[in-house]
Amino acid sequence: MFFGMFLMHAQEVAILKYKGGGDWYSNPTALPNLIEYCNQNINTAINTKPQTVEVGSTDILQFPFIHMTGHGNVFFSESDAENLRNYLLSGGFLHIDDNYGMQPYIVKELKKVFPNKELIEIPSNHPLFNIVYNFPQGLPKIHEHDGKRPQALGLFEEDRLILLFTYESDLGDGWEDPEVHNDPEDIRIKALQMGANIIKFAFEY
């Protein structure tokens, strides 16, 4: 559950802006579409125009859920890392969706945030995969990229999942407007349903 540091209504989300040259702004229609899906299907009341927050700003404390994506380089300064660590330990939740090519950079930068934590694969029986929609095999595959299996990796504080890194799935591409990637409708629905699970989990756990 969220702690007292959060100032706004519990159901608000934001996009994380970071340094390093990676395209933090990619998939511009993704999060708005996911929000609309959640508001229509899982009884959320999220602002349909998500705000952008910088990783080093205390404004992140206003949002219980922050989404991060991109294809390339990520860089956290020491103050960025400290701010993000404080956010996550204060009850915040960060979802990082690798839009392809982000993985080596984000893994390195997360070591600045939590030097003693390792990303751990989340088992398919975790509530993340059945809190609303059931994904018995775990994270769905939305785009092929390198043909590797999709993985949901997490950082935990004691038993609480505080950060989710979705890799080799590319949920955000599935959330985008249909004409952007021409994904089959059943694939888009899987992506949106998994996204709805993530949102609900972040708000309730």
How high is the pLDDT of residue 143?
75
Phi, psi for residue 95 in degrees, rounded to 5: -105, 120
Ordered DSSP codes for 173-200: HHHS-HHHH---HHHHHHHHHHHHHHHH
Nearest to 31 by CA among 110, 186, 75, 44: 44
| Domains (range + CATH), the chain | 13-204 (3.40.50.12140)
CA 63 to chain centre: 13
Distance from C-alpha of 172 to C-alpha of 175, rounded to nearest angstrom: 5
Model pTM? 0.93
DSSP string, 89-111: HTT-EEEEEE-SS-HHHHHHHHH
Residue 146 has a pLDDT of 67
pLDDT of residue 1: 39
pLDDT averaged per 10 residues, the chain (length 205): 46 93 89 97 94 96 94 94 97 94 94 98 97 97 79 96 95 88 87 98 92
